[in-house]
Chain A
Amino acid sequence: MADRKVCILGGGMSKWGVREASIIDMAQEAAKDCFDDVPALKKEDVDGLLFASSYCGRSAFQVNIAPVIAERTGIKPTSICTRVDTLCAGGSSGIILATGLIKAGMADVVMVSGGEKLYTPQRWETYYSEMASIDHDWEGAQGIGLPPPFFSMTAQEHMKRYGTTKEQLSAVSVKNRRNGSTNPKGHFQKAVTMEEVMAARAVVPPLGLFDCTPITDGCAAVILTHEDKAKELSDKPLVYVRGTAQATLHSMSMNWPGEDLADWVHLRIAAKKAYERARVGPEDIDVAQTHDCFTISEIIEMEDLGFCKKGEGGPFVESGQSDFGGKIPVNTDGGLLACGHPFGGTGIRQACEITMQLQGRAIRQVESAKIGLTHNLSGLNVEHTILIYGREP
Protein backbone atom coordinates (compact mmCIF):
# COMPACT_ATOMS: atom_id res chain seq x y z
CA MET A 1 0.00 0.00 0.00
CA ALA A 2 1.37 3.42 -0.93
CA ASP A 3 1.81 5.95 1.88
CA ARG A 4 -1.38 7.81 2.59
CA LYS A 5 -1.49 11.59 2.75
CA VAL A 6 -2.37 12.88 6.22
CA CYS A 7 -4.66 15.83 6.95
CA ILE A 8 -5.51 17.77 10.08
CA LEU A 9 -9.24 18.44 10.06
CA GLY A 10 -9.66 20.91 12.88
CA GLY A 11 -9.34 21.23 16.60
CA GLY A 12 -10.47 22.78 19.82
CA MET A 13 -9.37 23.96 23.21
CA SER A 14 -10.66 24.20 26.73
CA LYS A 15 -10.40 27.66 28.21
CA TRP A 16 -6.74 28.08 29.28
CA GLY A 17 -5.75 29.89 32.45
CA VAL A 18 -5.98 29.37 36.19
CA ARG A 19 -8.84 26.88 36.04
CA GLU A 20 -11.19 25.53 38.67
CA ALA A 21 -11.19 22.22 36.78
CA SER A 22 -9.25 18.94 36.70
CA ILE A 23 -7.21 17.69 33.74
CA ILE A 24 -9.98 15.11 33.11
CA ASP A 25 -12.57 17.95 33.00
CA MET A 26 -10.48 20.07 30.64
CA ALA A 27 -9.75 17.12 28.32
CA GLN A 28 -13.54 16.71 27.92
CA GLU A 29 -13.95 20.43 27.19
CA ALA A 30 -11.19 20.32 24.56
CA ALA A 31 -12.64 17.20 22.93
CA LYS A 32 -16.11 18.79 22.78
CA ASP A 33 -14.67 21.94 21.18
CA CYS A 34 -12.81 19.71 18.71
CA PHE A 35 -15.89 17.63 17.78
CA ASP A 36 -17.87 20.90 17.41
CA ASP A 37 -15.20 22.11 14.98
CA VAL A 38 -15.59 19.00 12.77
CA PRO A 39 -19.41 18.53 12.81
CA ALA A 40 -19.46 15.49 10.48
CA LEU A 41 -17.10 13.56 12.75
CA LYS A 42 -18.79 10.95 14.93
CA LYS A 43 -17.25 9.49 18.07
CA GLU A 44 -17.22 6.02 16.52
CA ASP A 45 -15.09 7.31 13.61
CA VAL A 46 -12.18 7.86 16.01
CA ASP A 47 -9.99 4.75 16.21
CA GLY A 48 -6.98 6.28 17.93
CA LEU A 49 -6.23 8.55 20.89
CA LEU A 50 -2.85 10.00 21.78
CA PHE A 51 -2.91 12.09 24.94
CA ALA A 52 0.09 14.33 25.61
CA SER A 53 0.76 15.21 29.22
CA SER A 54 3.87 15.36 31.35
CA TYR A 55 2.59 16.25 34.79
CA CYS A 56 -0.55 14.10 35.04
CA GLY A 57 1.46 11.53 37.00
CA ARG A 58 2.48 14.17 39.53
CA SER A 59 -0.26 16.77 39.77
CA ALA A 60 -3.26 14.56 39.01
CA PHE A 61 -1.86 11.27 40.46
CA GLN A 62 -2.90 9.54 37.23
CA VAL A 63 -0.47 7.66 35.00
CA ASN A 64 -1.74 5.77 31.95
CA ILE A 65 -4.26 8.58 31.56
CA ALA A 66 -5.22 7.83 27.92
CA PRO A 67 -7.89 5.17 28.73
CA VAL A 68 -9.38 7.53 31.32
CA ILE A 69 -9.64 10.36 28.77
CA ALA A 70 -11.02 7.97 26.12
CA GLU A 71 -13.73 6.70 28.46
CA ARG A 72 -14.73 10.17 29.72
CA THR A 73 -14.91 11.62 26.21
CA GLY A 74 -16.82 8.62 24.88
CA ILE A 75 -14.36 7.37 22.30
CA LYS A 76 -13.38 3.72 21.97
CA PRO A 77 -10.00 3.48 20.25
CA THR A 78 -9.12 0.22 18.52
CA SER A 79 -5.84 1.17 16.80
CA ILE A 80 -3.90 3.09 19.45
CA CYS A 81 -4.64 4.57 22.86
CA THR A 82 -1.63 5.87 24.76
CA ARG A 83 0.01 8.78 26.52
CA VAL A 84 2.87 10.79 24.98
CA ASP A 85 5.39 12.80 27.03
CA THR A 86 7.89 15.20 25.48
CA LEU A 87 7.22 17.91 28.07
CA CYS A 88 6.72 21.17 26.10
CA ALA A 89 6.51 19.33 22.76
CA GLY A 90 4.24 16.47 23.82
CA GLY A 91 1.32 17.62 21.68
CA SER A 92 3.56 18.01 18.65
CA SER A 93 5.02 14.56 19.27
CA GLY A 94 1.47 13.21 19.33
CA ILE A 95 0.74 14.79 15.96
CA ILE A 96 3.98 13.39 14.50
CA LEU A 97 3.13 9.90 15.78
CA ALA A 98 -0.49 10.09 14.59
CA THR A 99 0.74 11.19 11.17
CA GLY A 100 3.05 8.18 10.96
CA LEU A 101 0.36 5.73 12.05
CA ILE A 102 -2.21 7.12 9.60
CA LYS A 103 0.31 7.33 6.78
CA ALA A 104 1.25 3.68 7.29
CA GLY A 105 -2.37 2.53 7.49
CA MET A 106 -2.10 1.52 11.14
CA ALA A 107 -4.80 3.99 12.22
CA ASP A 108 -7.48 5.94 10.32
CA VAL A 109 -8.85 8.75 12.48
CA VAL A 110 -6.76 9.83 15.46
CA MET A 111 -7.55 12.39 18.12
CA VAL A 112 -4.39 13.99 19.46
CA SER A 113 -5.25 15.61 22.72
CA GLY A 114 -3.19 16.89 25.61
CA GLY A 115 -2.65 19.36 28.37
CA GLU A 116 -1.90 19.82 32.01
CA LYS A 117 -3.42 20.74 35.34
CA LEU A 118 -0.48 22.70 36.72
CA TYR A 119 -2.11 24.57 39.61
CA THR A 120 -2.09 22.27 42.61
CA PRO A 121 -3.91 23.05 45.86
CA GLN A 122 -0.65 24.44 47.22
CA ARG A 123 1.54 26.30 44.76
CA TRP A 124 4.92 25.06 46.01
CA GLU A 125 4.19 21.70 44.41
CA THR A 126 4.10 23.12 40.88
CA TYR A 127 7.61 24.58 41.16
CA TYR A 128 8.79 21.46 42.95
CA SER A 129 7.49 19.17 40.20
CA GLU A 130 9.33 21.26 37.63
CA MET A 131 12.57 19.80 38.89
CA ALA A 132 11.43 16.45 37.50
CA SER A 133 11.04 18.05 34.06
CA ILE A 134 14.76 18.36 33.42
CA ASP A 135 17.68 16.00 34.06
CA HIS A 136 16.56 15.50 37.66
CA ASP A 137 19.50 13.87 39.40
CA TRP A 138 22.05 16.32 37.99
CA GLU A 139 20.23 19.59 37.32
CA GLY A 140 16.88 19.35 39.11
CA ALA A 141 18.78 18.75 42.34
CA GLN A 142 20.66 22.02 41.63
CA GLY A 143 17.32 23.82 41.93
CA ILE A 144 17.19 24.74 38.26
CA GLY A 145 13.57 23.73 37.67
CA LEU A 146 12.05 24.92 34.45
CA PRO A 147 14.31 27.24 32.72
CA PRO A 148 14.14 30.92 33.84
CA PRO A 149 17.80 30.84 34.99
CA PHE A 150 18.84 28.95 31.88
CA PHE A 151 17.08 31.35 29.53
CA SER A 152 18.39 34.32 31.45
CA MET A 153 21.91 33.11 30.68
CA THR A 154 20.85 32.51 27.07
CA ALA A 155 19.57 36.10 26.86
CA GLN A 156 22.76 37.46 28.41
CA GLU A 157 24.80 35.50 25.87
CA HIS A 158 22.77 36.79 22.92
CA MET A 159 22.92 40.37 24.23
CA LYS A 160 26.70 40.24 24.69
CA ARG A 161 27.41 38.50 21.43
CA TYR A 162 24.99 40.28 19.09
CA GLY A 163 24.02 43.47 20.93
CA THR A 164 20.41 42.38 21.42
CA THR A 165 18.58 44.83 23.70
CA LYS A 166 15.95 44.59 26.42
CA GLU A 167 13.65 46.65 24.16
CA GLN A 168 13.96 43.95 21.49
CA LEU A 169 13.07 41.24 24.01
CA SER A 170 10.11 43.37 25.12
CA ALA A 171 8.91 43.82 21.51
CA VAL A 172 8.18 40.06 21.38
CA SER A 173 6.00 40.30 24.46
CA VAL A 174 4.14 43.39 23.24
CA LYS A 175 3.37 41.70 19.88
CA ASN A 176 2.28 38.37 21.33
CA ARG A 177 0.18 39.83 24.13
CA ARG A 178 -1.56 42.05 21.55
CA ASN A 179 -2.20 39.03 19.31
CA GLY A 180 -3.57 37.13 22.29
CA SER A 181 -5.90 39.96 23.31
CA THR A 182 -8.53 38.72 20.83
CA ASN A 183 -8.07 35.01 21.58
CA PRO A 184 -10.86 34.09 24.04
CA LYS A 185 -9.33 30.66 24.82
CA GLY A 186 -5.91 31.96 25.90
CA HIS A 187 -4.73 32.74 29.43
CA PHE A 188 -4.39 36.55 29.01
CA GLN A 189 -6.55 38.89 26.93
CA LYS A 190 -4.89 42.07 28.20
CA ALA A 191 -2.36 43.67 25.85
CA VAL A 192 0.75 45.19 27.42
CA THR A 193 2.73 48.28 26.46
CA MET A 194 6.48 48.54 25.91
CA GLU A 195 6.68 50.68 29.08
CA GLU A 196 4.85 48.04 31.15
CA VAL A 197 7.10 45.24 29.90
CA MET A 198 10.28 47.24 30.49
CA ALA A 199 9.22 48.25 34.01
CA ALA A 200 7.84 44.84 35.10
CA ARG A 201 9.31 43.16 38.15
CA ALA A 202 12.34 40.97 37.58
CA VAL A 203 12.04 37.18 37.55
CA VAL A 204 15.64 36.35 36.62
CA PRO A 205 17.32 39.47 35.20
CA PRO A 206 17.32 40.41 32.35
CA LEU A 207 14.00 38.51 32.14
CA GLY A 208 11.03 40.20 33.78
CA LEU A 209 7.45 39.10 34.39
CA PHE A 210 6.28 39.69 30.80
CA ASP A 211 9.31 37.93 29.29
CA CYS A 212 8.11 34.59 30.71
CA THR A 213 5.16 32.37 29.87
CA PRO A 214 2.83 31.99 32.86
CA ILE A 215 1.85 28.76 34.63
CA THR A 216 -1.38 27.67 32.96
CA ASP A 217 -4.00 24.95 33.15
CA GLY A 218 -5.59 23.78 29.92
CA CYS A 219 -6.14 21.13 27.27
CA ALA A 220 -6.41 21.10 23.47
CA ALA A 221 -7.36 18.47 20.87
CA VAL A 222 -7.08 18.00 17.10
CA ILE A 223 -8.26 15.37 14.64
CA LEU A 224 -6.01 13.81 12.01
CA THR A 225 -6.99 11.41 9.26
CA HIS A 226 -6.03 10.32 5.76
CA GLU A 227 -6.93 12.38 2.69
CA ASP A 228 -9.92 10.28 1.54
CA LYS A 229 -11.55 10.30 4.96
CA ALA A 230 -10.74 14.01 5.31
CA LYS A 231 -12.68 14.78 2.12
CA GLU A 232 -15.60 12.81 3.53
CA LEU A 233 -15.57 14.47 6.97
CA SER A 234 -14.60 18.06 6.27
CA ASP A 235 -16.31 20.87 4.40
CA LYS A 236 -13.25 23.11 4.90
CA PRO A 237 -10.08 23.40 2.83
CA LEU A 238 -7.79 20.43 3.48
CA VAL A 239 -4.63 21.03 5.51
CA TYR A 240 -1.85 18.44 5.09
CA VAL A 241 1.02 17.51 7.41
CA ARG A 242 3.91 18.01 4.98
CA GLY A 243 7.02 17.40 7.04
CA THR A 244 8.17 16.91 10.62
CA ALA A 245 11.38 16.59 12.62
CA GLN A 246 12.45 16.26 16.24
CA ALA A 247 16.10 16.61 17.24
CA THR A 248 17.77 15.80 20.57
CA LEU A 249 21.53 15.95 21.05
CA HIS A 250 21.94 16.12 24.83
CA SER A 251 20.15 16.10 28.17
CA MET A 252 22.34 17.90 30.69
CA SER A 253 24.03 21.29 30.31
CA MET A 254 27.58 19.85 30.27
CA ASN A 255 26.74 18.23 26.94
CA TRP A 256 25.21 21.35 25.36
CA PRO A 257 25.75 20.93 21.60
CA GLY A 258 26.21 24.57 20.56
CA GLU A 259 29.16 26.92 20.66
CA ASP A 260 27.38 28.92 23.38
CA LEU A 261 23.86 29.04 24.85
CA ALA A 262 22.65 31.35 22.04
CA ASP A 263 23.74 28.82 19.40
CA TRP A 264 20.85 26.35 18.94
CA VAL A 265 22.45 23.80 16.65
CA HIS A 266 19.76 21.18 17.40
CA LEU A 267 17.09 23.61 16.19
CA ARG A 268 18.96 24.12 12.92
CA ILE A 269 19.26 20.35 12.45
CA ALA A 270 15.52 19.84 13.07
CA ALA A 271 14.64 22.77 10.78
CA LYS A 272 16.79 21.48 7.93
CA LYS A 273 15.16 18.06 8.13
CA ALA A 274 11.61 19.40 8.43
CA TYR A 275 12.11 21.76 5.46
CA GLU A 276 13.55 18.93 3.36
CA ARG A 277 10.70 16.59 4.23
CA ALA A 278 8.12 19.30 3.52
CA ARG A 279 9.94 20.27 0.28
CA VAL A 280 9.95 23.95 1.25
CA GLY A 281 12.40 26.48 2.64
CA PRO A 282 12.07 29.12 5.36
CA GLU A 283 11.18 31.70 2.68
CA ASP A 284 8.06 29.65 1.80
CA ILE A 285 6.51 29.77 5.30
CA ASP A 286 3.55 32.17 5.44
CA VAL A 287 2.78 31.92 9.16
CA ALA A 288 4.56 30.33 12.14
CA GLN A 289 3.83 29.47 15.77
CA THR A 290 7.19 29.22 17.50
CA HIS A 291 7.96 28.38 21.12
CA ASP A 292 8.02 31.76 22.89
CA CYS A 293 8.42 30.33 26.40
CA PHE A 294 10.62 33.37 26.93
CA THR A 295 10.99 36.43 24.73
CA ILE A 296 14.61 35.55 23.95
CA SER A 297 13.47 32.16 22.63
CA GLU A 298 11.41 33.69 19.83
CA ILE A 299 14.34 35.91 18.83
CA ILE A 300 16.77 32.98 18.54
CA GLU A 301 14.10 30.86 16.80
CA MET A 302 13.76 33.51 14.06
CA GLU A 303 17.47 33.02 13.39
CA ASP A 304 17.85 29.27 13.67
CA LEU A 305 14.62 28.56 11.76
CA GLY A 306 16.21 30.60 8.96
CA PHE A 307 13.75 33.53 8.93
CA CYS A 308 16.66 35.96 9.41
CA LYS A 309 20.46 35.78 9.72
CA LYS A 310 22.16 34.59 12.90
CA GLY A 311 22.45 37.48 15.32
CA GLU A 312 19.77 39.57 13.61
CA GLY A 313 16.78 38.22 15.55
CA GLY A 314 16.61 41.33 17.75
CA PRO A 315 16.31 43.89 14.93
CA PHE A 316 14.05 41.42 13.03
CA VAL A 317 11.38 41.39 15.76
CA GLU A 318 11.86 45.06 16.65
CA SER A 319 11.26 46.20 13.06
CA GLY A 320 8.01 44.21 12.80
CA GLN A 321 9.31 41.50 10.44
CA SER A 322 7.69 38.83 12.66
CA ASP A 323 4.41 40.76 12.81
CA PHE A 324 1.42 41.08 10.47
CA GLY A 325 2.59 42.89 7.34
CA GLY A 326 6.18 41.80 7.97
CA LYS A 327 8.19 38.97 6.47
CA ILE A 328 6.51 36.26 8.56
CA PRO A 329 3.77 36.73 11.16
CA VAL A 330 4.73 34.71 14.25
CA ASN A 331 2.51 33.60 17.13
CA THR A 332 -0.63 35.04 15.61
CA ASP A 333 -2.84 33.62 18.42
CA GLY A 334 -0.69 35.08 21.18
CA GLY A 335 1.84 32.26 21.56
CA LEU A 336 2.89 30.92 24.93
CA LEU A 337 3.35 34.43 26.31
CA ALA A 338 -0.39 35.20 26.00
CA CYS A 339 -2.06 31.76 25.81
CA GLY A 340 0.06 30.19 28.54
CA HIS A 341 1.80 26.84 28.39
CA PRO A 342 0.11 23.68 29.73
CA PHE A 343 2.99 21.66 28.28
CA GLY A 344 1.28 18.76 26.52
CA GLY A 345 -1.36 21.12 25.13
CA THR A 346 0.90 23.69 23.50
CA GLY A 347 1.84 21.89 20.29
CA ILE A 348 -1.86 21.11 19.77
CA ARG A 349 -2.88 24.74 20.33
CA GLN A 350 -0.27 25.72 17.73
CA ALA A 351 -1.68 23.13 15.32
CA CYS A 352 -5.23 24.49 15.87
CA GLU A 353 -4.07 28.01 15.00
CA ILE A 354 -2.08 26.95 11.93
CA THR A 355 -5.03 24.85 10.71
CA MET A 356 -7.37 27.85 11.03
CA GLN A 357 -4.81 30.11 9.35
CA LEU A 358 -4.46 27.77 6.38
CA GLN A 359 -8.24 27.33 6.20
CA GLY A 360 -8.64 31.12 6.19
CA ARG A 361 -10.68 31.31 9.40
CA ALA A 362 -8.22 32.49 12.06
CA ILE A 363 -9.19 35.29 14.44
CA ARG A 364 -6.21 37.33 13.22
CA GLN A 365 -5.90 36.01 9.68
CA VAL A 366 -2.68 36.10 7.65
CA GLU A 367 -3.91 36.83 4.15
CA SER A 368 -3.89 33.77 1.83
CA ALA A 369 -1.59 31.70 4.06
CA LYS A 370 -0.70 28.41 2.33
CA ILE A 371 2.18 27.00 4.37
CA GLY A 372 2.50 27.12 8.15
CA LEU A 373 5.08 25.98 10.69
CA THR A 374 4.95 25.08 14.36
CA HIS A 375 7.95 24.74 16.65
CA ASN A 376 8.55 23.64 20.24
CA LEU A 377 11.58 23.37 22.42
CA SER A 378 11.48 21.11 25.45
CA GLY A 379 12.82 21.32 28.99
CA LEU A 380 16.26 22.85 29.46
CA ASN A 381 16.39 23.41 25.70
CA VAL A 382 17.20 19.74 25.08
CA GLU A 383 14.88 19.01 22.18
CA HIS A 384 13.49 20.84 19.15
CA THR A 385 10.30 19.75 17.37
CA ILE A 386 9.01 21.17 14.08
CA LEU A 387 5.93 20.47 11.98
CA ILE A 388 5.18 22.02 8.60
CA TYR A 389 1.60 22.10 7.33
CA GLY A 390 0.36 23.06 3.88
CA ARG A 391 -2.75 23.48 1.76
CA GLU A 392 -1.08 21.14 -0.74
CA PRO A 393 0.33 17.71 0.24
Chain B
Amino acid sequence: MPVPGLPILEGLYPSTMDLYPFEAKEFNRIHPFYENLRQNRFTTTKCKKCGNTPFPPRVVCPKCNSDDLEWVDLPTQGKVLRFTEEVAGVPLGFEAPLIHALVDLGEGRKFISRVINCKEGQLKEGDTVKLAVFEVPPMIIEKRGGVMEESPRVFFAFEPVK
Protein backbone atom coordinates (compact mmCIF):
# COMPACT_ATOMS: atom_id res chain seq x y z
CA MET B 1 0.00 0.00 0.00
CA PRO B 2 1.46 3.40 -0.89
CA VAL B 3 2.39 5.66 2.04
CA PRO B 4 0.49 9.00 1.71
CA GLY B 5 2.91 11.82 0.93
CA LEU B 6 5.76 9.32 0.62
CA PRO B 7 4.95 7.04 -2.32
CA ILE B 8 8.70 6.27 -2.55
CA LEU B 9 8.34 4.25 0.69
CA GLU B 10 5.92 1.73 -0.74
CA GLY B 11 7.01 -1.72 0.37
CA LEU B 12 10.02 -0.37 2.28
CA TYR B 13 10.79 -0.58 6.00
CA PRO B 14 11.66 2.86 7.49
CA SER B 15 13.55 1.68 10.58
CA THR B 16 13.58 5.15 12.20
CA MET B 17 9.82 4.75 12.65
CA ASP B 18 10.09 1.32 14.26
CA LEU B 19 8.44 1.06 17.68
CA TYR B 20 10.35 -2.06 18.69
CA PRO B 21 14.10 -2.62 19.17
CA PHE B 22 16.33 -3.82 16.35
CA GLU B 23 16.40 -7.31 17.80
CA ALA B 24 18.18 -9.19 15.00
CA LYS B 25 21.72 -10.39 15.73
CA GLU B 26 23.00 -8.27 12.84
CA PHE B 27 22.08 -5.11 14.78
CA ASN B 28 22.92 -5.67 18.45
CA ARG B 29 25.01 -7.84 20.76
CA ILE B 30 22.31 -8.58 23.34
CA HIS B 31 20.07 -10.56 20.97
CA PRO B 32 20.06 -13.62 23.31
CA PHE B 33 17.66 -11.57 25.49
CA TYR B 34 15.09 -11.79 22.71
CA GLU B 35 15.88 -15.40 21.89
CA ASN B 36 15.38 -16.27 25.58
CA LEU B 37 12.17 -14.24 25.63
CA ARG B 38 10.86 -16.57 22.92
CA GLN B 39 11.30 -19.44 25.43
CA ASN B 40 9.29 -17.36 27.97
CA ARG B 41 12.50 -16.58 29.88
CA PHE B 42 13.16 -13.07 31.22
CA THR B 43 16.93 -12.79 31.33
CA THR B 44 19.84 -10.43 31.78
CA THR B 45 23.62 -10.54 31.91
CA LYS B 46 25.66 -11.37 35.02
CA CYS B 47 29.33 -10.44 35.33
CA LYS B 48 31.39 -13.57 35.90
CA LYS B 49 34.12 -11.52 37.52
CA CYS B 50 32.26 -9.36 40.06
CA GLY B 51 28.78 -10.90 40.07
CA ASN B 52 27.00 -7.65 39.16
CA THR B 53 23.66 -8.42 37.48
CA PRO B 54 22.26 -5.21 36.01
CA PHE B 55 19.14 -4.82 33.89
CA PRO B 56 18.88 -4.17 30.99
CA PRO B 57 21.62 -6.56 29.74
CA ARG B 58 25.06 -5.18 28.86
CA VAL B 59 28.03 -6.17 26.76
CA VAL B 60 30.51 -4.79 29.32
CA CYS B 61 30.00 -4.87 33.11
CA PRO B 62 29.26 -1.25 34.12
CA LYS B 63 30.84 -1.90 37.54
CA CYS B 64 34.18 -3.58 36.80
CA ASN B 65 34.47 -3.26 32.99
CA SER B 66 34.84 -7.00 32.49
CA ASP B 67 33.39 -8.31 29.24
CA ASP B 68 33.11 -11.86 30.56
CA LEU B 69 29.35 -12.02 31.10
CA GLU B 70 26.77 -14.83 31.23
CA TRP B 71 23.01 -14.92 30.78
CA VAL B 72 20.90 -15.54 33.90
CA ASP B 73 17.17 -15.76 34.52
CA LEU B 74 15.13 -13.12 36.33
CA PRO B 75 11.78 -13.86 37.98
CA THR B 76 8.84 -13.95 35.55
CA GLN B 77 6.23 -13.09 38.19
CA GLY B 78 5.90 -9.91 40.20
CA LYS B 79 3.58 -7.88 42.39
CA VAL B 80 1.81 -4.69 41.29
CA LEU B 81 2.88 -1.79 43.51
CA ARG B 82 1.19 1.05 41.58
CA PHE B 83 -0.60 1.18 38.26
CA THR B 84 -2.07 3.67 35.81
CA GLU B 85 -4.76 3.54 33.17
CA GLU B 86 -3.94 6.06 30.44
CA VAL B 87 -7.13 7.20 28.75
CA ALA B 88 -5.89 10.07 26.53
CA GLY B 89 -2.81 10.70 24.40
CA VAL B 90 -2.06 7.01 23.89
CA PRO B 91 0.74 6.53 21.32
CA LEU B 92 0.14 4.94 17.93
CA GLY B 93 0.43 1.16 18.21
CA PHE B 94 -1.40 1.06 21.55
CA GLU B 95 -5.06 1.32 22.54
CA ALA B 96 -6.71 3.20 25.39
CA PRO B 97 -6.87 2.38 28.18
CA LEU B 98 -3.13 1.75 28.11
CA ILE B 99 -2.28 0.13 31.43
CA HIS B 100 1.14 0.36 33.06
CA ALA B 101 2.24 -0.98 36.42
CA LEU B 102 5.19 -0.50 38.72
CA VAL B 103 6.01 -4.17 39.19
CA ASP B 104 8.09 -5.55 42.07
CA LEU B 105 10.00 -8.58 40.76
CA GLY B 106 11.74 -9.16 44.11
CA GLU B 107 15.52 -9.05 44.64
CA GLY B 108 15.17 -5.25 44.85
CA ARG B 109 14.01 -5.00 41.24
CA LYS B 110 11.06 -2.72 40.54
CA PHE B 111 10.22 -1.48 37.10
CA ILE B 112 7.45 -0.13 34.93
CA SER B 113 5.84 -2.52 32.49
CA ARG B 114 2.81 -2.45 30.30
CA VAL B 115 0.04 -4.77 31.50
CA ILE B 116 -1.88 -6.58 28.76
CA ASN B 117 -4.84 -8.97 28.67
CA CYS B 118 -6.36 -6.79 31.39
CA LYS B 119 -9.59 -4.77 31.38
CA GLU B 120 -9.94 -1.22 32.70
CA GLY B 121 -10.78 -1.39 36.41
CA GLN B 122 -9.60 -5.01 36.73
CA LEU B 123 -6.12 -4.48 38.18
CA LYS B 124 -5.54 -3.88 41.90
CA GLU B 125 -2.45 -2.97 43.89
CA GLY B 126 -0.91 -6.16 45.26
CA ASP B 127 -2.07 -8.30 42.31
CA THR B 128 0.38 -10.83 40.88
CA VAL B 129 1.34 -10.38 37.23
CA LYS B 130 3.41 -12.65 35.02
CA LEU B 131 5.58 -12.24 31.93
CA ALA B 132 3.63 -12.24 28.66
CA VAL B 133 5.55 -12.64 25.40
CA PHE B 134 3.98 -11.80 22.06
CA GLU B 135 4.93 -11.55 18.39
CA VAL B 136 5.59 -8.10 16.94
CA PRO B 137 6.15 -7.20 13.26
CA PRO B 138 9.43 -8.50 11.81
CA MET B 139 12.38 -6.34 10.79
CA ILE B 140 13.19 -6.27 7.10
CA ILE B 141 16.91 -6.69 6.49
CA GLU B 142 18.57 -6.18 3.13
CA LYS B 143 20.93 -9.05 2.33
CA ARG B 144 23.50 -9.43 -0.42
CA GLY B 145 22.12 -9.00 -3.90
CA GLY B 146 19.29 -6.82 -2.64
CA VAL B 147 17.38 -9.79 -1.19
CA MET B 148 14.98 -8.71 1.59
CA GLU B 149 14.81 -11.04 4.58
CA GLU B 150 12.22 -10.92 7.35
CA SER B 151 13.69 -11.23 10.82
CA PRO B 152 10.92 -12.31 13.23
CA ARG B 153 10.56 -10.53 16.57
CA VAL B 154 8.86 -10.89 19.95
CA PHE B 155 8.39 -8.37 22.74
CA PHE B 156 7.13 -8.55 26.31
CA ALA B 157 4.70 -7.09 28.79
CA PHE B 158 3.13 -8.50 31.95
CA GLU B 159 -0.40 -9.87 32.41
CA PRO B 160 -2.62 -10.65 35.41
CA VAL B 161 -2.31 -14.17 36.82
CA LYS B 162 -5.84 -15.49 36.44
Partners in one complex: yes
Establish whether residues B112 and A131, one from each chain, have CB atoms under 8 Å apart when the complex forms. no
Q: Which residue of A lies closest to B113 (CB)?
A: A142
Q: B92 in the interface, Cβ–Cβ < 8 Å? A: yes
| Shortest CB distance A147–B (Å) | 10
Q: Which of B9-35 contact A (CB under 8 A)?
A: 16-17, 19-21
* Given A252-B111, A253-B112, A254-B109; A124-B84 close (CB under 8 Å): no
Q: Which residue of A lies closest to B105 (CB)?
A: A254
Establish whether residues B84 and A128, one from each chain, have CB atoms under 8 Å apart when the complex forms. no
A253 interface neighbour in B21, B110, B155, Cβ under 8 Å: B110
Q: B157 in the interface, Cβ–Cβ < 8 Å? A: yes
Task: List residues of chain A with CB within 8 A of the CB of B109.
Answer: 254
Q: Which residue of B lies closest to A146 (CB)?
A: B89
Task: List residues of chain A with CB within 8 A of the CB of B54.
Answer: 255
Of the stretches A200-208, A278-286, A363-371, the one at the interface is A200-208
Size of the B side of the interface (Cβ < 8 Å), in residues, is 32
Q: Which of B16, B21, B87, B112 has the most CB of A within 10 A?
A: B112
Q: Which residue of B lies closest to A58 (CB)?
A: B16
Instruction: Kindly state the separation between the CA atoms of A127 and B92 in the bound complex, as whole angstroms.
Output: 7
Establish whether residues A149 and B98, one from each chain, have CB atoms under 8 Å apart when the complex forms. yes
Q: A148 in the interface, Cβ–Cβ < 8 Å? A: yes
Establish whether residues B84 and A205, one from each chain, have CB atoms under 8 Å apart when the complex forms. yes
A254 interface neighbour in B55, B88, B92, B94, Cβ under 8 Å: B55
Q: Which residue of A lies closest to B98 (CB)?
A: A143
Task: List residues of chain A with CB within 8 A of the CB of B110.
Answer: 253-254, 256
- Residue interface bits B65-93, CB-to-A below 8 A is 1, else 0: 00000000000000000111111111111
Q: Which of B104-162 contact A (CB under 8 A)?
A: 109-114, 155, 157
Of the stretches A150-158, A173-181, A220-228, A326-334, the one at the interface is A150-158
Establish whether residues A141 and B19, one from each chain, have CB atoms under 8 Å apart when the complex forms. yes
B112 interface neighbour in A124, A142, A205, Cβ under 8 Å: A142
Task: List residues of chain A with CB within 8 A of the CB of B93.
Answer: 128, 143
B86 interface neighbour in A130, A156, A203, A255, Cβ under 8 Å: A203
Establish whether residues A128 and B86, one from each chain, have CB atoms under 8 Å apart when the complex forms. no
| Shortest CB distance A63–B (Å) | 11
| Shortest CB distance A161–B (Å) | 11
Task: List residues of chain B with CB within 8 A of the CB of A136.
Answer: 21
Establish whether residues A131 and B86, one from each chain, have CB atoms under 8 Å apart when the complex forms. no
Establish whether residues A153 and B86, one from each chain, have CB atoms under 8 Å apart when the complex forms. no
| Shortest CB distance A160–B (Å) | 9
Task: List residues of chain A with CB within 8 A of the CB of B89.
Answer: 127, 145, 148, 203
**What are 22 residue pairs bridging A and B, where the CB atoms are less than 8 Å apart in the complex?**
A58-B16, A124-B92, A127-B89, A139-B112, A141-B19, A143-B93, A145-B89, A145-B91, A156-B82, A202-B88, A203-B87, A203-B88, A203-B89, A204-B84, A204-B87, A204-B88, A253-B111, A254-B56, A254-B109, A254-B111, A255-B55, A256-B110
Q: A157-B82, A203-B86 are in contact. List 12 more A-B contacts (CB 8 A).
A: A127-B92, A141-B19, A141-B155, A142-B100, A142-B113, A149-B84, A152-B86, A153-B82, A153-B84, A203-B89, A205-B85, A253-B112
B binding-site residues for A, Cβ under 8 Å: 16-17, 19-21, 54-56, 82-94, 98, 100, 102, 109-114, 155, 157
